[in-house]
């Protein structure tokens, strides 16, 4: 049976496509999940440059533009930043949904967009201990049953990816996501868990101002990761798909 469109899912820093496993059966829609280089099952790389924002964007644009038919792009955390950066280059994109992502300005305004949470510094370290990782899991994920997946994906990630991401941020090597997001002329959705300690929710409120086709949606009983509220987020995606496909 011909499907109505494709949901293209991009995971975050030190995560993997596994966080979308519960989404693989969407009635009437295809779901494509990928592992960014250095993450999950995608461990092939030629140099640390393969983990740069620019390389990640080129990797994703190439994949997305091979998809036949219309696309909704969903990005989580780092995946959301990448989704914002590539959206205008995806020929069949109909909507953009990001979660746990605050579109950044340039120069990078991390102190404005994010809350200071020292336990999350582990996401920028190539060397860490498990105690740090468990503390990060406790901060980011509400349900204990979901923390094992987070921990395993983090450990399996090539540690050079975190080192490269930290360097990219320090060197200001990202696009002006704030402007890209505001000027993108398709329906856009900013999802944030009401218990997400990372995102400055007051900052997200700015994106509702003006006629820029943006909706900010708070997810109840949810931390930073979509696995805390799988069914609620699937419902949101289905509603968006019905509206745009």
- What domains does the chain contain, in order, with CATH numbers? 6-244 (3.40.50.1820)
pLDDT score at 2: 62
Q: What is the pLDDT of residue 26?
A: 83
Mean pLDDT throughout 128-138?
Answer: 97
CB 53 within 8 A of CB 76: no
Look up the pTM and report it: 0.97
At residue 3, does pLDDT exceed 90? no
Instruction: Reply yes or no on whether the pLDDT at 1 is more than 60.
Output: no
pLDDT at 212: 73
At 220-232, the pLDDT tens digits run: 999 999 999 999 9
| 92-126 tens-digit pLDDT | 999 999 999 999 999 999 999 999 999 999 999 99
pLDDT value for 27:
82
* DSSP3 helix / strand / coil % (the chain, rounded to 5): 45, 15, 35
pLDDT of the residue at 231: 95
Mean pLDDT of 34-63: 97
pLDDT on residue 224: 98
Lowest-confidence range among 23-32, 129-138, 181-190, 235-244?
A: 23-32
Residue 159 has pLDDT above 80, yes or no: yes
Cα dihedral angle (222, 228, 230, 233), rounded to 10 degrees?
20
Rounded alpha-carbon distances, angstroms, from residue 62 to 13, 151, 157: 20, 29, 22
Average pLDDT of the residues of the chain: 95
Strands 71-76 and 93-99, sheet pairing: parallel
pLDDT attached to residue 24: 83
User: CA-to-CA distance for 61 and 90, rounded, in angstroms?
Assistant: 6
Q: Alpha helices, DSSP H only, in the chain? A: 53-64, 78-86, 110-113, 130-140, 147-156, 159-170, 177-183, 201-205, 230-244
What is the structure's pLDDT at 211?
61
* 73 pLDDT above the threshold of 60: yes
């Amino acid at each position: 049976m011909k499907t109505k469109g494709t949901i293209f899912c991009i995971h975050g820093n030190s995560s993997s496509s596994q966080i979308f496993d519960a989404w693989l059966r969407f009635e009437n829609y295809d779901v494509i999940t990928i592992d960014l280089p250095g993450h999950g099952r995608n461990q092939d790389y030629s140099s640390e440059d393969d983990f740069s924002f620019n390389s990640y964007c080129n990797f994703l644009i190439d994949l997305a533009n091979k998809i036949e038919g219309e696309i909704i792009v969903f990005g989580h955390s780092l995946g959301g930043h990448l989704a914002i950066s590539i959206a205008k280059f995806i020929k069949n994109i109909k909507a953009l949904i990001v979660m746990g992502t605050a579109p950044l300005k340039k120069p990078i305004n991390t102190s404005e967009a994010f809350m200071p949470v020292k336990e999350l510094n582990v996401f920028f370290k190539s060397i860490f201990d498990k105690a740090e990782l468990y503390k990060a899991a406790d901060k980011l994920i509400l349900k204990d049953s979901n923390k094992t997946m987070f921990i395993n994906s983090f450990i399996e990630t090539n540690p050079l990816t975190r080192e490269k991401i930290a360097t990219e941020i320090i060197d200001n090597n990202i696009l002006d996501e704030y402007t890209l997001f505001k000027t993108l002329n398709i329906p856009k959705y900013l999802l944030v868990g009401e218990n997400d300690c990372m995102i400055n929710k007051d900052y997200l409120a700015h994106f509702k101002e003006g006629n820029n086709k943006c909706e900010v949606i708070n997810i109840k009983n949810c931390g930073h990761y979509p696995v805390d509220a799988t069914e609620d987020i699937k419902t949101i995606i289905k509603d968006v798909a019905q509206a745009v496909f």
